[in-house]
């Protein structure tokens, strides 16, 4: 028997998508073959990492799960269509980790109740998989392709869920992020009313908070891109070892509309995670801090307690006394460049200031390039 939700809203759904002649056409457009990659590790590379090799042209196929039934897919489409006509409750994450009504854009692209439930599932995932670093990196890399000089969405890049497509996952800077997508896919399947763009940013902010970091003032309602050809071109993310690290960081982050303080604050997220030479070309295969995990063992971390978010990244780079801790050229330059050094020195001494500035910078990054539904005022 046909689902009553589908039956009652089918005509509205098709009217809202004039280029789609039938429900089956929509499903064929929206669901392609899933990537047959197994989950090898929940450990992270550096949050923004790149190798020197260029990616070969990749087949464009969506990683959207095909486990959704015809009925549930139409329900999701019906919800998306109806949300354009109904303004939902304003949603943001409160300081206690729950959701509350506040003065932020009303969330129609994602269902508020499903966002709340998805956050709880992400917290359980973090407890069992110790995947905080790679989830932070996933959110950063989806948003970090933003170009402030391009107005058109989605060509401008940014937080739009494009990183779920294989063509973008195969960019050199995104090596290993298919593991993060695999970790979250069952949550996306469970909560079809949450967009990929929102899920990636929700997971990133939740990982920071659950690792002991500051509460991130997030907002939700990001719209997803729908096709692989809407992914940004390769080369928009930072490299780990450019010839002129300070110039490179400014070139990339200024293009996003970020400043020196935000560059240094965001770099402090390397207090979490490890770099794996088989993915990024940087770091040791293992150290005394990583050989036993948690999670998959190996890699080289920036800090001793690489699953704890604090200001030890700045302290350890400044001290330079432990050869088992990673310092990339883009890390070292934070204490060499005169402008960067002002903030790096401050954060090494004052964790409270670091947390405040980091939370603001992370929230700003998470919104870059996003198209919100309903639109922002």
Q: Which residues pair with 342 in a beta bridge?
A: none
Task: Give Cβ neighbours of residue 215 (< 8 Å, ≥ 6 apart).
Answer: 93, 94, 95, 97, 209, 359
Tally Cβ neighbours within 10 Å of residue 38.
8
CB 311, CB 354: distance < 8 Å: yes
Q: Is 248 considered catalytic here?
A: no
Catalytic residue among 17, 31, 85, 141: 141
User: Who contacts 374 (Cβ-Cβ below 8 Å, separation ≥6)?
Assistant: 87, 105, 106, 108, 221
Task: Let me know if 214 is exposed, middle or buried by CB neighbors in 10 A (0-12, 13-18, 19+).
Answer: buried
Place of tokens 């933003």: 146
Residue-wise burial string across 126-143, b where 16 or more C-beta atoms lie within 10 A, e elsewhere:
beebbbbbbbbbbbbbbb
Sequence-ordered list of residues with C-beta below 8 angstroms from that of 307, at least 6 positions apart, any chain: 130, 132, 133, 211, 272, 294
Annotated catalytic residues are: 141
């Amino acid at each position: 028997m046909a689902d009553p939700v589908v039956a009652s809203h089918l005509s509205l759904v098709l009217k809202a998508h004039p280029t789609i002649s039938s429900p089956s056409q929509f499903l064929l457009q929206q669901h392609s073959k899933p990537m047959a990659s197994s989950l090898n590790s929940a450990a992270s590379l550096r949050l923004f990492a790149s190798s020197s090799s260029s990616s070969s042209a990749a087949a464009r196929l969506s990683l959207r799960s095909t486990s959704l039934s015809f009925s549930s897919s139409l329900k999701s489409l019906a919800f998306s269509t109806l949300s354009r006509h109904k303004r939902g409750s304003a949603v943001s994450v409160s300081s206690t980790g729950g959701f509350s009504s506040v003065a932020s854009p009303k969330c129609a692209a994602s269902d508020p109740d499903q966002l709340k439930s998805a956050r709880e599932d992400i917290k359980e995932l973090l407890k069992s998989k110790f995947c905080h670093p790679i989830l932070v990196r996933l959110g950063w890399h989806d948003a970090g392709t933003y170009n402030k000089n391009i107005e058109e969405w989605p060509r401008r890049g940014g937080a739009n869920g494009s990183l779920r497509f294989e063509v973008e996952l195969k960019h050199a800077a995104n090596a290993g992020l298919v593991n993060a997508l695999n970790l979250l896919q069952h949550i996306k399947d469970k909560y079809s009313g949450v967009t990929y763009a929102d899920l990636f940013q929700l997971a990133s902010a939740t990982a920071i908070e659950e690792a002991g970091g500051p509460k991130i003032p997030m907002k939700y309602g990001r719209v997803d891109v729908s096709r692989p050809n809407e992914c940004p071109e390769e080369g928009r993310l930072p490299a780990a070892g450019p010839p002129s690290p300070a110039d490179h960081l400014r070139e990339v982050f200024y293009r996003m509309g970020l400043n020196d303080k935000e560059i240094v604050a965001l770099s402090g997220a390397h207090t979490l995670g490890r770099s794996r030479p088989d993915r990024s070309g940087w770091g040791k295969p293992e150290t005394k801090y990583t050989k036993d995990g948690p999670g998959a063992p190996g890699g080289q971390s920036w800090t001793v307690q690489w699953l704890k978010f604090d200001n030890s990244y700045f302290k350890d780079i400044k001290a330079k006394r432990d050869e088992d801790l990673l310092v990339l050229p883009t890390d070292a330059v934070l204490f060499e460049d005169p402008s960067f050094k002002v903030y790096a020195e401050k954060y090494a001494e004052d964790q409270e200031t670091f947390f405040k500035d980091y939370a603001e910078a992370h929230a700003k990054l998470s919104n870059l390039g996003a198209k919100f539904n309903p639109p922002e005022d």
